[in-house]
Amino acid sequence: MNNRILVIALVAFGLASGAHAQQVRLSISTGGTGGVWYPMGGAMANVLSRHLPNAAVTAEVTGGSVDNVKLLATRKTELAFSMVDTAWEGMNGTGKFKEKVPMRTLAVVHPLVMHVVTIEGRGIEKISDFKGKRVSTGSPGSGTEAMAFRILEAHGVNPDKDIIRERLSVAEAANAIKDRKIDAFMHAAGVPLPSVTDVAAAPGIKIKLIDHTGGLEAMRTKYGPIYAAGKIPARSYPGQDRDNLTVNVWGVLLVHETMNEKLVYDILKTLFERHQDIVNTHREAANMTLENQAIGATAVPWHSGAVKYFADRGVTVK
């Protein structure tokens, strides 16, 4: 048995505790380097490595939600960021998942806002204007891609027939739109999204964020009440002079259902006690509040260790 399997086994059976316990190695599956989850996950890994006894934690670059849930299913990661709509499919073994993934919710993190980004001069004012345009719908294996398809569908745009579709990471998409190689891109993340800030701040470019709440009711009718209306406030990005009306979905942290209850409790205790350290890295982490654990939509049942921790803090999750 190699060291990594041994560590995971110790965690699963609750044996990795005490002054002489073997070091617990954990990985956090995040997303692309140009998104929000990678810096946020890096801050969490740093906090846990420094303040959770016997822990060594790393943040891993991934394709996003779909990849993260699949990594969790195969026990190749211990903590995974995911959008709730992707998590719902993973739990039920539908969509991108052939089998049900035995996972549990650790925490509600923040609402993910779908950014629909173009620039002046590309002839795009609304989603239906995407027809015939070159558009990135997110990297393969991302929750963005699944959500983007649903938004396009709700606005009468077939992503396989009506657009010239690219499957770029958000960092790649930002570079491509600055170089005029694509007309628009879509990415679901917190605000501010570093890659969108990069585009908005580029010389000679005027950013344009496209409203898309018109398809919300169709999405909710077909996929359930996991989507909500939201907005990106004016001046969130350089040159953005009005509010952008968006579709939102919550982002959550997931763990395998077999993770030890005490370990889950201790992870949450450490993250919330050092919450400001995470917020200092990315302000979107400010949404990971105790209050939002009760009201944030999560499609996956809570881990018993999370239920116990939040109950001790006076918050009921269910």
Q: How confident is the model at residue 318 (pLDDT cuts 50, 70, 90)?
A: confident
* Percent of the chain surpassing pLDDT 70: 93
CA distance 47 to 70: 25
**Residue-wise pLDDT tens digits, 157-180:** 999 999 999 999 999 999 999 999
Give the residue among 85, 86, 148 at the shortest CA–CA distance from 117: 148
CA distance 221 to 134: 28
Please give the model's pTM, rounded to 2 decimal places: 0.78
User: Looking at the predicted structure, is the pLDDT value of residue 311 above 90?
Assistant: yes
CA distance 232 to 71: 31
Number of H helices and E strands in the chain, helices first, is 12, 10
Q: How many residues does the chain have?
A: 318
* Percent of the chain surpassing pLDDT 90: 82
Give the residue among 213, 199, 200, 203 at the shortest CA–CA distance from 240: 200
Q: How confident is the model at residue 259 (pLDDT cuts 50, 70, 90)?
A: very high
> Can you point out the beta strands (E) in the chain?
24-29, 55-60, 79-83, 103-119, 134-136, 164-166, 184-189, 207-209, 228-232, 244-256
Domains and CATH numbers, the chain: 3-110+252-312 (3.40.190.10), 112-249 (3.40.190.10)
Radius of gyration of the chain (CA): 20
**Residue-wise pLDDT tens digits, 178-200:** 999 999 999 999 888 999 999 99
